[in-house]
Amino acid sequence: MSLDLRRCQKSSKSLRLTAEDKRKLAGLDALCFPYDEPYAVIGKWWWIIEDMDWNPVAYAGLSPCPETPGYMFLCRSGTLPSHRRQGLAQRLTEARLEFARSLKKDVITYVQRDNIASANNLIKAGLRIVKPVYRYGGDDGIYFGSSW
Ligand SMILES: CC(C)(COP(=O)(O)OP(=O)(O)OC[C@H]1O[C@@H](n2cnc3c(N)ncnc32)[C@H](O)[C@@H]1OP(=O)(O)O)[C@@H](O)C(=O)NCCC(=O)NCCS
């Protein structure tokens, strides 16, 4: 089955999201992070993977990073349980890295210590453990970054 990846914002100059994409992101977020508060999607870049009927199955975001000039922040990534271990998060990570690189930015992010799936995903994409200048996720996370 073909699963297509697209960046929600067509232009690299505007962070504006359509109402339909906001709805899809909120729906995915609720299913992938059932115990979290709804995530604030405004002011970030977003990518969505959809099936042939345009049903969203995975998503990920990239946020500007004013605290760490020269970097962007890999934020929130989720794949519906039914679609996990098919390489979707990997595709989303690669798309975000490619976009950040095109803007001549490095990326930084963190994972909770027990989130093995997420840490392995970042390692597979070539990121390395770093000591952050700014601790976005507090002291408990493991920080990963790129250095192109
Ligand atoms: C983490 C998450 C996004 C991974 O999504 P996914 O689409 O299943 O990941 P992929 O299939 O692209 O996996 C890519 C790599 O990540 C690692 N990985 C993914 N799931 C894993 C798991 N359950 N255990 C260990 N490693 C895992 C592997 O290295 C994998 O490569 P491999 O299959 O060749 O071994 C998904 O499990 C999820 O949505 N979890 C809940 C939300 C969350 O924790 N998000 C991340 C923090 S923001």
Indicate which atom in ligand 1 lies nearest the CA of residue 33. 42
Domain 4-145 has CATH 3.40.630.30: yes
Tens of pLDDT, residues 52-63: 999 999 999 999
- Which residue's CA is the nearest one to ligand 1's atom 29? 120
Q: What pLDDT is attached to residue 136?
A: 84
| Percent of the chain scoring above 90 in pLDDT | 86
Pocket test for ligand 1, best of 44, 50, 82, 84 (most atoms within 8 A of CB): 84
Evaluate if residue 135 carries a pLDDT over 80.
Answer: yes
| Pairing status of strand 71-79 against strand 45-50 | unpaired
The full set of domain ranges for the chain reads 4-145
Q: Which amino acid is at 129?
A: I
User: What is the reported pTM?
Assistant: 0.96
The SS3 assignment for 133 reads coil
Dihedral of the alpha carbons of 54, 59, 65, 67, in degrees to the nearest 10: 150
Q: What pLDDT is attached to residue 148?
A: 67
